[in-house]
Amino acid sequence: MNSEQPGQPWGMCAAFGCPLLGSLGSEGQWYCFCHAHKPSSINAVITAKLRGQLAPIVETTLDIRRCGASFHQSPDLYRAIQRRLLAAGRRDLLLGANGADCSPYRPGEPNVKLWLGRLEGVLIATCAELGTARRQSATAQTALVEGPTHAAQFVETARKAIASSERVLDMEEREPGSDDEETVT
């Protein structure tokens, strides 16, 4: 047990429950490439994504790292990864899919380390979207409260504003009249 980070085994990302290794230092702790440099407020959202929808990709990256990016000693592991990605509907993430994972110097020869980089890139990109999606939805809610978000709505709001300002003008014009009545009375 690591007394400094209860709940996370030594070597793992410091975000609670994260399945990835801690590889990037931040504020005295080690975080994975998905949690590093993210506000702690979305740590749990990222962990849930890594353990849910992204779990087949997470497990695959860990498998590739464990075998040193070489399946010569463990062809069964490679077949297990293929089955896992296909079951997850990610045929596009298989080694060499659509001509990916090849060095420009060796086209047609998929490289496992480049494959690992592509898989980890998918994890990073998906988790980065989680942060921006939250910020965007917060902005949209504010905009809905404050006023129109589309040109058509703006025209309608402007029309109402003009109409109500005319009513205000009408009332102001009537006020001196009522004052007069009071004076008369």
Residue 55: CB atoms within 10 A of its CB come to 14
Nearest distance, CB of residue 55 and Zn ion, angstroms: 13
Ramachandran angles phi, psi of 29, nearest 5°: -130, 165
Name the residue nearer to Zn ion (CB basis): 30 or 115.
Answer: 30
Name the residue nearer to Zn ion (CB basis): 34 or 81.
Answer: 34
Nearest distance, CB of residue 125 and Zn ion, angstroms: 15
Name the residue nearer to Zn ion (CB basis): 13 or 64.
Answer: 13
Task: Give one DSSP letter per residue of 104-136, joined into a string.
Answer: TTSTT-B-HHHHHHHHHHHHHHHHHHHHHHHHH
Q: Tokens representing 96?
A: 């060499």
Strand, coil or helix: 12:
strand
Name the residue nearer to Zn ion (CB basis): 48 or 143.
Answer: 48
Residue 11: CB atoms within 10 A of its CB come to 10
Nearest distance, CB of residue 46 and Zn ion, angstroms: 7
Distance CA 33, CA 174 (A): 68
What residue ranges bind Zn ion (CB under 5 A)?
13, 15, 18, 20, 32, 35
Nearest distance, CB of residue 156 and Zn ion, angstroms: 46
